[in-house]
Amino acid sequence: MDSKNNSFNERCYELLKLVPKGKVTTYREIAKALHTNAWRAVGNAMAKNKSLFVIPCHRVVRSNGSLGQYALGADKKSELLIKEGVIVTNGRVKDLGKFIHRFST
DNA sequence: GGCGTGACCCCAT
DNA sequence: TATGGGGCCACGC
């Protein structure tokens, strides 16, 4: 489980699972947590994610406050975030820095 | 073993 | 504030 044999994309899922409800994270933060600048690969991992019903992919948003894409649709993503307690307006997070969750202090 | 793609990010104007 | 252009990494074929 805590093995380091997991692929890069699986590590993204693990970090994502660490995000509590009512909070969100950014692709940039995940990449940083992995000590890499592969935000591209992170998004790619979500796009190919097979654990859509196991990983809260809807809690991942872009660094500029936009929600980004979602397997079920960006519209559904915003709905879920709002239900989680995140303030979303016009498809964008109102106070990203307030809901952002960082894996590092 | 190499190329293209992608749920992106940052900077300058 | 919005828009355009360039660049980064991992995965699949």
Catalytic residues of A: 57
Instruction: Convert the pLDDT of each residue in A23-76 to its tens digit.
Output: 999 999 999 999 999 999 999 999 887 678 889 999 999 999 999 999 999 999
Position A98 scores a pLDDT of: 92
Domain assignment present for residue A103? The answer is no
A38 domain residue, yes or no: yes
Q: Residue A44's domain is classified under what CATH number? A: 1.10.10.10
Exposure class string for A63-85: b at 16+ Cβ within 10 A, else e: eebebbebeeeeeebbebbeebe
Domain assignment of residue A3, yes or no: no
Report the protein residue whose CA lies nearest the C1' of nucleotide B6.
Answer: A44
- The boundaries of the domain holding residue A23 are 8-98
Rounded CA–C1' distance between A63 and B11, in angstroms: 15
